[in-house]
Amino acid sequence: QKEVEQDPGPLSVPEGAIVSLNCTYSNSAFQYFMWYRQYSRKGPELLMYTYSSGNKEDGRFTAQVDKSSKYISLFIRDSQPSDSATYLCAMSAIRTSGSRLTFGEGTQLTVNP
Amino acid sequence: DAMVIQNPRYQVTQFGKPVTLSCSQTLNHNVMYWYQQKSSQAPKLLFHYYDKDFNNEADTPDNFQSRRPNTSFCFLDIRSPGLGDAAMYLCATSRGQGDGYTFGSGTRLTVV
């Protein structure tokens, strides 16, 4: 079983739709939860960062972490064509030798004008 | 702007011919990572440096080596590239514990 499972998609939505992206994980030691956005042929860029359980909002983006269910989500409100990208969830545990992110396989999102 | 720079963006190498990919950072981050990402797959950690301390992943093939001569630079050496090593190679940095990564734009390696 993979440590991190991500809804594979691909996902295609009309402009303005609310998008929900989800990941589950098995390692209860994970404390830090992130979402990265990766445009085609580019490196991932950090979109949202959450420590432990709870919600975090940044503009049109909301990240939710439910550690009891080992489940994280990213919501995108009023989606735009520029949001079309692959979204990767990532998480890490506390380590002394530098945090080690474990990624989901990504969900490819297309927002149609 | 502070950033992570990878060179080259695209690299074509012959089967079995050694190749080196480079990464530099202006963020002064302690940790530098090398990830391999194949099409539609999650990035896979190959190894990372915490300052000068090298940490290899257990399943990273011996064919892959890395050097970090100073804080700013890190290199990925592939001694004898095979067709299965064709991938995007991503360099990333972080300050350490629980910190988000800053990624470079990646080097896309083609093996012919």
pLDDT tens digits for B87-101?
999 999 998 776 788
How big is the CA angle at A25 (ends A19 and A30), to the nearest 5 degrees? 110
Q: Do B42 and A105 touch (CB under 8 A)?
A: yes
Among A2, A95, A97, A107, most B C-beta atoms within 10 A, so best to mutate, is A97
Rounded Cα gap, residues B37 and B107, in angstroms = 10
Query: From A87, which residue of chain B is nearest by alpha-carbon distance?
Result: B42
Residue A2, pLDDT score? 82
Written as six digits, the tokens of A74 are: 């990213």
Mean pLDDT of residues grouped by 10 in chain A (113 residues)? 86 96 94 93 91 91 95 97 96 72 93 96
For the cut 90, the answer to whether the pLDDT of residue B39 exceeds it is no
Q: Are B72 and B26 in contact (CB under 8 A)?
A: yes
Please count the other Cβ atoms lying within 10 Å of the Cβ belonging to residue B14.
Answer: 10
Residue A98, pLDDT score? 62
